[in-house]
Amino acid sequence: MAKFFDCITDELQKFIATQHLFFVGSAPLSPTGHVNLSPKGLDCFRILCANRVAYLDLTGSGNETSAHLQENGRITFMFCAFEEPPCILRLYGKGHTILPSCPEWNFLYPLFPEIPGTRQIIVADIEKVQTSCGYGVPLYEYQGQRQTIVNWAKNKGEQGVRDYQQQKNLVSLDGLPTSLNTVNSSVEGLLNNS
């Protein structure tokens, strides 16, 4: 049976701390737009307080969450236990993207491990918390985090990662601009006006 909470309780914070994987869901406003669901790992999730969370977002093949947050702010996080006892936890909220050029970056970034390929930090204010039984989630044994994305970023180097972001991370599948695109537009506007 589902239970609802107004915030992330101490007990739920302990549950989150033991999870090696979480999922991030977002969607555009358009009824024909693509819903995005991304798995995340590598110790990149932080609880800032009972109603605010953040995660360190690494460079990937797309940047859907950033585009959706810029358009409408809606975000859902899901954690599920792959070991006993069973549990599914969802955090519903409104989020925004923090880029390295934002003032908040200097406060938030030190909360995370340094991971090559870091793109941005996603911060969300949690409005509703839900738990459900999780009886249908299979049991899996955790073996460790993959290092593929870390090695990829190391091999690309900082400039190579930035170039990749410019090629692949400026718009969503549905053509919505991401926060990286907005920064580029602002910089281009300044350059064109000078």
Buried b (16+ CB within 10 A) or exposed e, 99-137: eeebeeeeebeeebeeebbbbbbbbbebeebebeeeeee
Select from 94, 83, 74 the least CA-distant residue to 28. Answer: 74
Residues 88, 80 contacting (CB under 8 angstroms): yes
In this structure, what CATH number is given to the domain that contains residue 39? 2.30.110.10
Look at residue 158 and give its three-state secondary structure.
helix
The model carries a pTM of 0.91
Could you give the number of structural domains in the chain?
1
Domain boundaries, position 69: 3-193
Tokens 């300044």 sit at which residue?
190
Per-residue pLDDT of the chain (194 residues; tens, 9 = 90+): 799 999 999 999 999 999 999 999 999 999 999 999 999 999 999 999 999 999 999 999 999 999 999 999 999 999 999 999 999 999 999 999 999 999 999 999 999 999 999 999 999 999 999 999 999 999 999 999 999 999 999 999 999 999 999 999 999 999 999 999 866 544 343 334 43
